[in-house]
Amino acid sequence: MILTTNLNLFDQFLVPKLLGMSLLIPAMLLTTALIYNPQDRWLSNPLTTLQAWLIAKTTKQIMTPVNKTGHKWSLMLISLLTMLILNNLLGLLPYTFTPTTQLSMNMALALPLWLATVLIGLRNKPASSLAHLLPEGTPTPLIPILILIETISLLIRPIALAVRLTANLTAGHLLMHLISTAALNLVTTSTLLAGLTLTLLALLMLLEIAVAMIQAYVFTLLLSLYLQENV
């Protein structure tokens, strides 16, 4: 009985398949349909104005710590942020799948982008990039240990990015599933407790919406900081 409950609890994170083919990529591409794409017009409507204002403000906020050399990454970073927000919010809808709860997908996003920032630093200023591995004024006996520690901390950055995003979204979805199940079971026994549980679920839903946007922003902001270190 316990095994069956655990399996049902984690079934929501299984990648859906159709005719034996994974639907992970179609689920990601589906979110692009949610982005409003205005036609060529002289006058803009309030929706396009709000969308352009949000993109401009977010881009400015993300690219503030990056110097002008790294501003060419602004389009990629804002596109990544938009994709992550839409994918995170997609999983809050009923009977939907959240692609960003898959660690493999998040690693596929974090690893190439992190590696690109490292390679840019090694190409443009190799001495400065390698100098980050050894703080200035380090005593000679501690040099090998500090180099090893700094190298490990550098290599775990993409893992930390992917795990942070996956863990926060997975924990929220599990908590919402448990509370909704409890509310459904309490309907037949105590209407008052069921109502309180549903209120808690509504508040948790608002919290998860905020978490979905914040985690996408943190993922993108950390990438911009890694970029700043290497440009």
Residue 158: predicted pLDDT: 93
Residue 197 backbone phi and psi in degrees, to 5:
-65, -40
Residue 14 lies in a domain: no
Mean pLDDT, the chain, as a whole number? 81
| Least confident among 5-14, 135-144, 202-211 | 5-14
Q: Look at 136 and 104; give whichever has higher pLDDT.
A: 104
Pair 231, 66: CB distance under 8 Å: yes
Burial class (CB in 10 A: 0-12, 13-18, 19+), 40: exposed
Once rounded to an integer, what is the mean pLDDT over residues 166-187? 87
Residue 126 lies in a domain: yes
Considering all CA atoms of the chain, what is the largest pairwise distance in Å, rounded to the nearest integer?
A: 71
Residue 30 lies in a domain: no
Top-confidence range, 74-78, 102-106, 157-161: 157-161
Residue 177 lies in a domain: yes
Once rounded to an integer, what is the mean pLDDT over residues 174-179? 86
- Read off the amino acid at residue 217: Y
Pair 87, 98: CB distance under 8 Å: yes
Residues above pLDDT 90, as percent of the chain: 20
* Separation of alpha carbons 220 and 227, rounded Å: 11
Residue 38: predicted pLDDT: 57
Residue 4: predicted pLDDT: 45
Rounded alpha-carbon distances, angstroms, from residue 229 to 64, 223, 225: 13, 10, 6
Pair 203, 45: CB distance under 8 Å: no
Q: Look at 192 and 129; give whichever has higher pLDDT.
A: 192
Residue 186: predicted pLDDT: 85
Residue 195 lies in a domain: yes
Q: Residue 3's pLDDT band (boundaries 50, 70, 90)? A: very low
Residue 28 lies in a domain: no
- Number of domains making up the chain: 1
Task: Kindly write down the DSSP assignment for every residue of 36-84, as one continuous string.
Answer: ----S-SS--HHHHHHHHHHHHHHHHHHTTS-GGGGGGHHHHHHHHHHH
Residue partners of 165: CB distance under 8 A and separation at least 6: 84, 100, 106, 215, 216, 219
Q: Which residue segment(s) compose the domain that 214 sits in?
A: 46-230
Q: Which residue has the tokens 């990601």?
A: 28
Task: Count Cβ atoms below 10 Å from residue 107 Cβ, excluding itself.
Answer: 17
Residue 40 lies in a domain: no
Top-confidence range, 9-23, 168-182, 211-225: 211-225
| Least confident among 2-16, 33-47, 52-66, 159-173 | 2-16
Once rounded to an integer, what is the mean pLDDT over residues 197-221? 92
Residue 37 lies in a domain: no
